[in-house]
Amino acid sequence: MSASRILFIALSIRSVHLKLLALFALAAFAMMTLSSPAVAQEVPVIGDKRARCSRTPAEIYREAAPSIVQIFSFGINPYRVVGRVESKTGSGVFLGDDLVATNFHVVLDATSLAVGVEGIVFEAELVGRDPVFDIAVLRAPGLSAQIDPLPLAPSDEVTIGQPAHVIGYPLGIGKSISTGIVSGKGRVLPINTSSWLSPFIQTDAPVSGGNSGGALIDDCGHLIGLVTLRSVSPEAENIGFAIPVGTLRRELPELIATGKVARPWHGLYGQMVTPVILQLLGAPPIAALFTRGFLVETVEPGSAADKAGIRGGMFPVMWGMEQMILGGDIITQVNGTKVASLEDARIVVQELKIGETVTVKLLREGIEMEVSAVIEERPILDRDLEAYRAR
């Protein structure tokens, strides 16, 4: 029996079933609250494989710390009397040619910027920004005469358990180093609907406010990530996240050259179909043997998915600690490529090109359909900015 036929039978009662689930599903859910710190850089690639080193934290700090700078961000809030001047501090990584990489959230809403290093303050200007991956690049004329750039790790790969060091300006009190390990990789965090395209590195090296834009460094003294988030949940201990150096390698040249990253705007978010989701949809167990695809949970207004008529879900459900929105389309193919795993979905999205027309096959209430979508460039959305302001 075909997957679409199985789902058609099962989903005929979907509406009633999902309404009951949305009404009565009770589960404890604790969302991890995240606050931002982070940045990164780009420099020559050294070799083909990750070198094995065993430098001490003191040696790492002595060699790498001079390349880490402090960011001063000043803004004006016209709607306030007390607190109308808003100031933030963060960290940055020197890239060479007077350029510094830091986090977008560090410079958000800034009307003036400065970079500090070894007691000297340089006026800075914004060169490029990418709120999707929380990256920004500044230019501070004269900085190159003071310090050298921090080299990038020769490989994008990291190993869980390898030494990791965070250098930055925690709480703005002064340049500091904290040490730990790479405690996880491939972490997908709910920053925005494109964040899953660049999973984060997790580290247990302590991260504090002010470390945003600081460096995550391996035991060879090379940059492996741009510190960008820390968990502030009272139940969390030493859970920090960094943008991988591979993402920086791809993003920085375009940010420096054009001031932005031109990125295709598909405009949908969701998750892969799982046996749990099929169970909640009321499908029989056998459906799990046939049904593969990407469940669309939300669609951004004005995006390619929205204009193509792709539908998101309508029924929010909790399953243990997991959130999901059911009732949306299930995408099975894009341009003839099957979407059977999260990696398939990631590759499909990464291969999208601005201006192209894509053909999407999907299941809607068990019925197979095909729609076309024209891919446009993703704008900076108000919700991108709201998410960072709320941190």
Whether residue 105 lies in the annotated active site: yes
- Give CA–CA dist 308/303, Å, rounded: 9
Which amino acid makes up residue 66?
P
Residues 6+ apart with CB under 8 A from 344: 337, 338
**266 neighbors 307 (Cβ within 8 angstroms):** no
d(CA 391, CA 389): 6
Q: Pick the catalytic residue: 4, 98, 130, 134? A: 134
Q: Which strand (E) or helix (H) includes residue 267? A: none
| DSSP assignment letter at 320 | T
Q: Which of 50-85 are b and which e, b meaning 16 or more Cβ less than 10 Å from the residue's Cβ?
A: beeeebebeebbebbbbbbbbbbbebeeeeeeeeee
Phi, psi (5° rounding) for residue 72?
-115, 125
> Nearest Cα to 345, choosing from 305, 289, 295, 310?
295
Residue identified by tokens 């999902």 is 18
**Phi, psi of 351, rounded to the nearest 5 degrees:** -90, -5
Helices (H), the chain: 3-11, 14-24, 57-64, 104-107, 245-258, 275-280, 304-308, 342-350, 382-389
Please work out, in degrees rounded to the nearest 5, the angle formed at the alpha carbon of residue 347 by the alpha carbons of 153 and 285: 125
The Cα–Cα gap between 95 and 182 comes to: 23
Q: Is 156 a catalytic residue?
A: no
Q: How far apart are CA 376 and CA 284, in angstroms?
A: 39
CA–CA gap between residue 352 and residue 355 (Å, rounded): 9
CA–CA separation, 156 and 153 (whole Å): 7
Give yes or no: 266 in active site.
Answer: no
Q: Kindly report the number of other CB atoms within 10 A of residue 236's CB atom.
A: 13
Single out the catalytic residue among 36, 105, 195, 219.
105
CA angle 132, 137, 140 (to 5 degrees): 160
Of the residues 36, 91, 212, 231, only one is catalytic, namely 212
Active site residues: 105, 134, 212
